[in-house]
Structure 1
Amino acid sequence: MASRRCEVAVVGGGLAGAAAAIAFAAEGFDTLLAAPAPPETDRRSTALIGRSVAFLSAIGVFEAARPHAEALRSMRLIDDTGRLLKAPTVEFRASEIGVSAFGYNILNTDLAAALAGRAAALSSHLTTVEARVEEIRFEDDHAVLDLGEAGTWRAQLVVGADGRRSIAREKAGIAAREWRYPQTALVFNFEHARAHDGVSNEFHTRSGPFTQVPLPGSRSSLVWVEAPDRADLYADLKPERLGAVVEQKLHSILGAVTVEEPIQRFPLSGLSAAAMSGPRLALVGEAAHAFPPIGAQGLNLGLRDVEALVSAVRNGRDDPGSASVLRRYAQGRVGDVSSRSSGVDLLNRSLLADFLPVQAARSVGLGALRNVGFLRHFAMREGISPGAGFTGIPRSVREGIDG
């Protein structure tokens, strides 16, 4: 069977991979999206912050997702460690920096449906093959992908969006450093008696963050980081008992809680690829970097990878996988990826540390954010769009959030 050809082949059908395939197809590139059928049991949510909303709007996805999303108008950081040096509560309000919301929280299944609908509308440029990539061979002017019974494809550029166990990264010979944390994340959704008013609450506990993020209606999603043995105990509780525990840990700010099953468990770990590109390959999302679900950074960072890659390729349309295009992409992502990855790691480890100077530094830092308006506004603008702390929120991002 003769090989089929495309300009860009995206390996991996998760949210970042689907967004990448749509973005390239929308730019007019003949694009392949190759991945097995996604699981149907994922009830996690994603907080799409600032620039991610603008990007998804620009590629024609967010309009369909918006009815299923809840605006994030305020975010609170609350010290619930019970330690000697207690950090002050810090509240970030989007209205302080002139936007209606920091972003939107949406169930992954609803976002995936919006992506699938947009992909179907781009079928003239986008071919989706539900098959696992079995082999990739990188050559000077193209790459060859073996999809088993689905045949082989030749592509000028391969986008590795296939997660922590990336076959694209492996076949390119790019090493990855991995590490583990002594924690497990419990993830589930719940209903509550009181309105959330678009406010997200992140309680910092000795075992990690306990983060409630609003969903449409009187519902919220929860990411609860615990020691593995305690996480197992909580996950095995009857829903009624677990709801009472969640209400207590939320200090009853949302009233009575009704837990929705399933309860998902994820051991916390991190990963950092030695490079974000190789010959004919660009890595995006968790194929390049992965860290705990803290601070709404994971998918947002992956979407910024995709946005930067499309921008780099746009300026090299004749050969989207050329060395100059890939070098420009990788160099442009170093600062954002390293700063966000180290920031999440530092915050998580600071919660686990009983060392008094670490507690003091954390308390002083959060106190400065609470009491110094300039620093708080800087942090909020940076959270919405990297670099915006110095230059202001770009118009496209501001319109994407408020539009």
Structure 2
Amino acid sequence: MAADFDIIVAGAGPAGMATAIALAGEGFATALVGEAGAPRDGRTVALLDGSVRFLTAIGVWERIAPDAAPMTHMRIVDATGSLFRPPPVSFSSREIGLDAFGHNVENVRLVAHLAEAAAARENLTLLPARVAGFAATEEAATVTLEDGRRIGARLAVGAEGRHSPLRRAAGIGTRTWAYPQTAVTAILAHARDHGGASTEFHTRAGPFTLVPLPGRVSSLVWVNRPQDAERLAALDDDSFARAVEEQAQSLLGAMRVAGPRGAVPLSGMSPTALTARRLALVGEAAHVFPPIGAQGLNLGLRDGAALHDAVVDARANGVDIGAARVLERFGRGRRVDTALRTNAIDLLNRTLLADMLPADLLRGAGLLTLGLIGPLRRAVMREGLTPGLNTPRQMRRPAREGAGAGGAEMVSPMPDQHRNHA
């Protein structure tokens, strides 16, 4: 079958749309298969520095920026009730020479802006349909749509989420797991200014995180036991807001629900491979994380940026963009990054659930060490934002950036936590 496109991207979520926009921007005839849309459930995305750089490079950040709030500080508070309780620690983006660690934006607004950018991008054909099948030969990939149409390309990209039809059709297996937790999400207004600080309380049920949005508004991710999440979901808005204020130890003052609420059971997924014949996986087709540590979509955008580098370099060297060696290069780099993030998030979450003194000592000692040892803390912050290993070109910082000095603030216990740390 003759190729209709250079590349077909299946899946119109944020990772799929950003990948398609990036590839089309390089002149590849690209098809984006899927319908863009996101539920209004209070979920937001904390786009870290590397992701903002990628979105800037592909020409879409200026659309998103007005709806996003910068995160200039990240604060961690141990609220586990452990015998070994380190003091709260606040990390400043200025320590590593940045104005902000990243920006937080409501998921529904991010998707809308990406969809507008995709519609305006040259070389990008939008096909609002679902994928029904996939096949590949040595010469081309073929994607069958649910209406029976068949389109061909030199490379297919699976970005259709955790149940990716392309991944299944290619015979790539998965490992899945679940946590005894549910993430309650919401948008809340509050009396005090957040000062650009994202605050994460570590509790026995999981992290309770408030992330800044424009104005005196923050998004909430409250990881809880399923039965407690059900109880919270049943509360009216006023009662729910009071529960959030109490859990946050009145850090931001009185709370008011200012947007949608939702609840998401926590689970994870890892495929046995990230590539197959003429197929690459990105986003939640390639990895599923619980909403902890702002890794999910940021990792998906790194997938897209890394694939961009692989195919651009292949074209420059006269190599078929869907060749096995091109995909092997992409998959090799992404496997390392994905494994590191998966293990780190899983370890953090399970140490909170363990309620065992050795786990508490390990986690507490780690926080205390990061608070006291500046070079280690700054190295960890840089790695968390944009990993140094195989960083995609469009996510790299210029060498002059990230050279800041200074130390993390050791935040005094409540009630002095009510201070503005911006």
Residue among 308, 325, 332 paired with 2:306: 308
Letter in 1 for 2:361: A
Post-superposition offset of 1:260: 3.1
> CA, structure 1 residues 397+305, in 2 after alignment: closer, same or farther (shift >3 Å)?
farther
> CA, structure 1 residues 261+186, in 2 after alignment: closer, same or farther (shift >3 Å)?
same
CA–CA distance in 2 between the matches of 1:346 and 1:39? 29
1:270-304 per-residue CA deviation (whole Å, 9 max, x = no partner) reads: 00111111110000111111111101100000000
Post-superposition offset of 1:148: 2.6
| Residue 146 (structure 1) aligns with | 144
Map 1:333-348 to 2 at 5 A: 333-348=334-349
CA–CA distance in 2 between the matches of 1:181 and 1:204? 16
Post-superposition offset of 1:86: 1.2
CA–CA distance in 2 between the matches of 1:254 and 1:129? 45
Q: TM-score, normalised by structure 2?
A: 0.90
Map 1:1-400 to 2 at 5 A: 5-122=4-121, 124-149=122-147, 151-317=149-315, 318-387=319-388, 394-395=397-398
Instruction: Work out whether residues 42 and 219 of structure 2, in 8 Å CA contact, stay in contact via their aligned partners in 1.
Output: no
Instruction: Work out whether residues 10 and 158 of structure 2, in 8 Å CA contact, stay in contact via their aligned partners in 1.
Output: yes
Instruction: Work out whether residues 74 and 94 of structure 1, in 8 Å CA contact, stay in contact via their aligned partners in 2.
Output: yes
1:21-57 per-residue CA deviation (whole Å, 9 max, x = no partner) reads: 1011001100000013424534411000011000000
> CA, structure 1 residues 230+344, in 2 after alignment: closer, same or farther (shift >3 Å)?
same
Letter in 2 for 1:74: H
Q: Which runs of 4+ in 1 moved over 6 A?
A: none
| Residue 415 (structure 2) aligns with | none
1:139-196 per-residue CA deviation (whole Å, 9 max, x = no partner) reads: 2211111113262100111111111111111001011000000000001111001100
Instruction: Work out whether residues 54 and 396 of structure 1, in 8 Å CA contact, stay in contact via their aligned partners in 2.
Output: no
Q: Number of aligned residue pairs: give it.
A: 394
CA–CA distance in 1 between the matches of 2:29 and 2:344? 37
| Residue 407 (structure 2) aligns with | none
256-265 or 281-290, larger mean C-alpha shift: 256-265
CA–CA distance in 2 between the matches of 1:221 and 1:213? 5
CA–CA distance in 2 between the matches of 1:397 and 1:331? 29
CA–CA distance in 2 between the matches of 1:191 and 1:76? 19
Post-superposition offset of 1:244: 0.5
Letter in 2 for 1:309: L
RMSD: 1.8
Instruction: Work out whether residues 3 and 154 of structure 2, in 8 Å CA contact, stay in contact via their aligned partners in 1.
Output: no
CA–CA distance in 2 between the matches of 1:366 and 1:189? 28
Where in structure 2 are there 5+ consecutive unaligned residues? 403-422
Instruction: Work out whether residues 87 and 362 of structure 1, in 8 Å CA contact, stay in contact via their aligned partners in 2.
Output: no
CA–CA distance in 1 between the matches of 2:79 and 2:375? 26
> CA, structure 1 residues 231+7, in 2 after alignment: closer, same or farther (shift >3 Å)?
same
Letter in 2 for 1:378: A
Post-superposition offset of 1:261: 4.4
CA–CA distance in 1 between the matches of 2:212 and 2:400? 21
Letter in 2 for 1:361: L
Instruction: Work out whether residues 131 and 150 of structure 1, in 8 Å CA contact, stay in contact via their aligned partners in 2.
Output: no
CA–CA distance in 2 between the matches of 1:69 and 1:184? 25
Instruction: Work out whether residues 53 and 397 of structure 1, in 8 Å CA contact, stay in contact via their aligned partners in 2.
Output: no
**Secondary structure in 2 matching 1:184:** strand
CA–CA distance in 1 between the matches of 2:35 and 2:215? 33
Instruction: Work out whether residues 175 and 273 of structure 1, in 8 Å CA contact, stay in contact via their aligned partners in 2.
Output: yes
Instruction: Work out whether residues 4 and 152 of structure 1, in 8 Å CA contact, stay in contact via their aligned partners in 2.
Output: no
CA–CA distance in 2 between the matches of 1:230 and 1:100? 37
> CA, structure 1 residues 340+333, in 2 after alignment: closer, same or farther (shift >3 Å)?
same
CA–CA distance in 2 between the matches of 1:89 and 1:321? 49
**Secondary structure in 1 matching 2:147:** helix
Post-superposition offset of 1:108: 1.2
Post-superposition offset of 1:334: 2.1
> CA, structure 1 residues 261+66, in 2 after alignment: closer, same or farther (shift >3 Å)?
closer
Where in structure 1 are there 5+ consecutive unaligned residues? none
Post-superposition offset of 1:69: 0.6
Instruction: Work out whether residues 186 and 231 of structure 1, in 8 Å CA contact, stay in contact via their aligned partners in 2.
Output: yes
Instruction: Work out whether residues 36 and 115 of structure 2, in 8 Å CA contact, stay in contact via their aligned partners in 1.
Output: no
The percentage of counterpart residues that share the same residue type is 48
Letter in 1 for 2:397: P
CA–CA distance in 2 between the matches of 1:191 and 1:150? 48
Letter in 1 for 2:30: T
**Secondary structure in 2 matching 1:289:** coil
> CA, structure 1 residues 373+180, in 2 after alignment: closer, same or farther (shift >3 Å)?
same
Letter in 2 for 1:353: A
Instruction: Work out whether residues 41 and 185 of structure 2, in 8 Å CA contact, stay in contact via their aligned partners in 1.
Output: no
**Secondary structure in 1 matching 2:302:** helix
**Secondary structure in 1 matching 2:209:** strand
